Homo-oligomer: A and B are copies of this chain.
């Protein structure tokens, strides 16, 4: 029989990881040095860094909102849930790397490879979100709260089911157009920021 425990420490640990990952993003922006070029010009030239900072912040923030939403339903934990949660956090902590690569190469000759790495990361994260959630809902929602709103849980399942496929399209789209791929990434972020059933909001 599975040993079930409370989820409060999982949430605390995950909150810590999300908080750190989202706060480290600013370290990727370089401090312009004094020189021949005025500071204001140097600051203006760093636009790819600002864009990737804001995008990554939004993405990690939205992932945190989703994690928060899942764990408002999940109330029990077993060993596999701990491991699936770690797998998801592996994806979250990795985000600063593809973000920095994108910031360094956006507008340059290698921007296609950078955009594919970026979308590819979110493809894996979308899979990990599905694995975590589907496991918690499996066997008659065995890890959800006793009084869980199963209809709300099923709406989350339906919304998440599209995630991996949509990020795979994003990934392929980067081969055709980096701009189109990044715009689609942003639209997906907004889609997942919204609660699964907009009528209930």
Q: Which residues of A contact B (CB under 8 A)?
A: 1-3, 5, 9, 11-27, 29, 31-34, 38-40, 43, 53-54, 57-58, 61, 64-65, 68, 71-72, 78-79, 82-83, 86, 89-90, 93-94, 96-97, 100-101, 104-105, 108-110, 113-114, 117, 193-195, 200-201
Bound complex: CA A40 to CA B27 (Å): 24
Q: List 28 A-B contacts (CB under 8 A).
A: A3-B195, A9-B68, A9-B71, A11-B12, A13-B15, A13-B19, A13-B68, A15-B16, A15-B19, A20-B23, A20-B24, A22-B89, A23-B24, A23-B93, A25-B93, A27-B96, A29-B97, A31-B100, A32-B101, A34-B109, A38-B110, A38-B113, A39-B110, A43-B101, A43-B117, A61-B83, A65-B79, A79-B201
